[in-house]
Amino acid sequence: MKTTPLTRKEFIRNSALALAGATFIPGMLFAENSAQTEVEKTLTAHQGKKNYTLKNVLLETGFEYDAEGNVTATKTALFSVQIEAGKIKAINANSTDADAIDAKGLLMLPSFRDMHIHLDKTFYGDKWQAIRRGPGGVKGMIALEQKILPELLKNSTFKAEKLIELLQSKGTAFARSHVNIEPTSKLDSLRNLQLALENKKNSFGAELVAFPQHGVFYTDSVPYLKEAARTNIDFIGGVDPFTIDGAIEKTMDFTVQLALDNNKGIDIHLHESGESGLKTVEYLIKKVNENPALKGKTYLSHCFVLAKLDKAKQQAIAEQLGAAQIGIVSTVPFGGLIMPIPTLMENNVKVMTGNDSILDHWSTFGSGSVLQKANIAAQLYGQATEFGLSRMLKLATAGPIPLDDKGKQQWPKVGDAADLAFIDASCSAEAISRLSPVKSLIYQGNIVF
């Protein structure tokens, strides 16, 4: 497949068509040919402008309460929002300025952030392929990857760009992507993804995790990880140190030291749900407490072992994670593995989510929507009230939400980055519950669609 990224004009047009009801299939967009819509003309006219004003922007301003003090609804009002040099310069009473871009009463929310995804290895944008399960568990999947990666790498830049466009259509303007660093890919997967991100730098942001998918020592990934750590990646990754490398402390000690030596964060895939999983969590807490520079920069992705602990142990570990400022990045699994996300949040553990796999040899079920992840979490944990639903938005945004727990407006503020999603919803609670459609996205002041 020829590596030909969409031009800005083509992307705007495709996005407008998709919003108008076109059906998107990986690599293709089917829609009837028609004249430019009013929306498309407006977007094209304003594309590339650094300074502009939005009018008829719906913002949340507070909660409504009943006599018992329960939140019954969310207050909103229309405002004018001025954007300058990628930031929010002013928030004023609604304007009738004819030159302002009309947001048409859409709800403005912080743009979404997918905090666990693999942009570097995907079938998305290529032909459909279901997953192929072989024997040998994770090590069997490593053997499969070693076979298919050389072919995947041939057009991985193009497919990463297509995957980014899917995320953008769902309101996501930023991702934390794990990128394979191992003897098969060496640093080729990283270079290909960095090229895709460079091509999308005006419409999408990312941070990268050097991910030894094939183990640190199970395959000799050490020299490649050391080389990657000297580049501008952000985190040192890892995966199931006991299952793959057969040694928790040896692998974790290497990972921690590499992060410290290169001033990087840490983000470890941990699928192990038995004793080895718990020991890995406890050992990482110990290492972070010994090295305070890692506090606030260390994460455990998946961390399924937390779902297997009794409530008392969940509470104890949550308290320790919160004190060590170690975050959890959960893909919000369903079925028998229900992560104790409320317990983690109650103990000041930063909890984020992501799609993980979108369409690859691990899974084909990813939708690209972290709003959907927040919706699933709300259902799993019974967050069905106006207040509870609104709190789940932080899973989609990786933190910022319009109202604090007391109903005081805390976002947006003058000086905030102009990373904005516009949703066809009356409030964030409705957006979560109804999976309301994303109508527009702005990244660092740039109108993406």
**DSSP structure string for 211-233:** E-TTTTTTTT-HHHHHHHHTTT-
Q: What is the pLDDT of residues 418-442, one digit of tens each?
A: 999 999 999 999 999 999 999 999 9
Task: Pick the closest to residue 79 from 389, 422, 441 (CA basis).
Answer: 422
Q: What is the mean pLDDT of the chain?
A: 90
Residue 406: burial class (beta carbons within 10 Å; 0-12, 13-18, 19+): exposed
Please tell me the distance from the alpha carbon of residue 308 to that of residue 281, in angstroms, as a whole number: 13
pLDDT category of residue 114 using cuts at 50, 70 and 90:
very high
Would you state the structure tokens that stand for residue 103, as one six-digit string? 């947001």
Sign of CA dihedral 250, 255, 260, 266: negative
Angle at 356 between CA 351 and CA 359, to 5 degrees: 160
Is the pLDDT confidence value at 27 over 50? no
In this prediction, what percent of the chain has a pLDDT beyond 90? Answer: 81
Please tell me the distance from the alpha carbon of residue 427 to that of residue 423, in angstroms, as a whole number: 9
Would you state the structure tokens that stand for residue 302, as one six-digit string? 């998946």
**What CATH code is assigned to 112-392?**
3.20.20.140
Please tell me the distance from the alpha carbon of residue 266 to that of residue 317, in angstroms, as a whole number: 19
Question: Do 200 and 162 meet the contact criterion of CB atoms below 8 Å apart?
Answer: no
Please tell me the distance from the alpha carbon of residue 398 to that of residue 424, in angstroms, as a whole number: 21
- Residues in CB range of 275: below 8 A, 6 or more apart: none
Q: What is the pLDDT of residues 395-422, one digit of tens each?
A: 999 999 999 999 999 999 999 999 999 9
Phi, psi of 442 (to 5 degrees): -125, 130
**Distances from the Cα of 447 to the Cαs of 161, 173, 414, 437, in angstroms?**
17, 11, 19, 17
pTM over 0.85: yes
How many Å from the N-terminal Cα to the C-terminal Cα in the chain? Answer: 26
Q: According to CATH, where is 2.30.40.10 located in the chain?
A: 8-111+404-447
Question: Domain 8-111+404-447: which topology?
Answer: Urease, subunit C; domain 1 (2.30.40)
Q: What is the pLDDT of residues 290-324, one digit of tens each?
A: 999 999 999 999 999 999 999 999 999 999 999 99
Q: According to CATH, where is 3.20.20.140 located in the chain?
A: 112-392
